[in-house]
Amino acid sequence: MMRKYINKVFIYLIFFFITYVYLVNVKIVWIDLFPISISQICYLISFTCCSFMLLWSLVKTMMTDPGKVPQNWGFFLDQNEQRKRRFCLNCHLFKPERCHHCSACNRCVLNMDHHCPWINNCVGFYNRKFFMQMLFYVILDSFMGLFGLFIGLRQEYINIQNDDFQLIKTLLILIAFGVCGLAIFLITRFFKMHIDLVLENRTTIENLERKRSEEQGQNQEDKNPYDLGHYYNWVQVFGTNKYYWFLPIDNIEGRPSGDGILWPRRHRQDSEQTGDNFPSTNNNTRVQN
């Protein structure tokens, strides 16, 4: 019960800070401090669009189911696949490869990356794209906000020299400036790490398992059998239509490639796949090792 309320607090904080920075930057800085101009209108439209994309991707990340395991999956596998079955004692079902049980959500999640308390949801196969877009728009929106708030602070400095100091307004701008700067500092490195994981076709959990194995001195000949090359790794998360890579849309062309259950594997002889068609996972087919 306590965890439920804590998760709600995280969500309320996110929406509060997004709204706070937007209102301070738009109303207190650009509307109150400066006369209307073409450059002002262009900036406000761009900043508003960026803030909208941030909220859209945030809501999609929160509301999209990360991926459920089909109830009867695992009972109709061939002999080779039978040996790879893993049974979840909590959910009472067989888990596909790359599927993990989340103790916070109390369920198994397809291609689980991690549980994020800030969105009160797991990041998995079906919402990892939206999570990555959310991080991208957090950084972009923060940079744009930082620019606008810096202009406002410079104008406030000029006003102070002209004996027109307004303490409350200056404090509000400083706090918003600090929020944007902190977001850039924290999220940029985090975003880069997740970009690297997507390009390597790993999840956060798999990356931690790899590091743990290396620390224990375990020798892995095939460190990542799911690595199909940067392009195919990317479309497994973002889909094949490039127009939807920046839009949090989950129609057929905007969905990740595959089904989150069956995973193509790379050839041992080839470290990079070539061609225009994504390796098929339909009808239980795989790229053979």
The catalytic site residues sit at 116
Residue 67's alpha-carbon distances to 52, 94, 171, 186, 254, in angstroms, are 26, 14, 44, 28, 16
State how far the Cα of 161 lies from the Cα of 170, in Å rounded to an integer.
Answer: 14
State how far the Cα of 33 lies from the Cα of 58, in Å rounded to an integer.
Answer: 31
Give the dihedral sign, CA 134/224/126/199.
positive
H/E stretch holding 95? strand 93-95
Structural contact between residues 62 and 41, judged by C-beta atoms closer than 8 angstroms = no
Angle in degrees, 0-180, between the axes of helices 167-200 and 128-161, rounded to the nearest 10: 150
State how far the Cα of 198 lies from the Cα of 243, in Å rounded to an integer.
Answer: 18
Structural contact between residues 144 and 184, judged by C-beta atoms closer than 8 angstroms = no
- Backbone conformation region of residue 287, classed left if phi is above 0, alpha if psi is from -120 to 50, else beta: beta
Q: Residue 197: count other Cβ atoms within 10 Å of its Cβ.
A: 19
Residue that is written with structure tokens 């990542």 in the block: 224
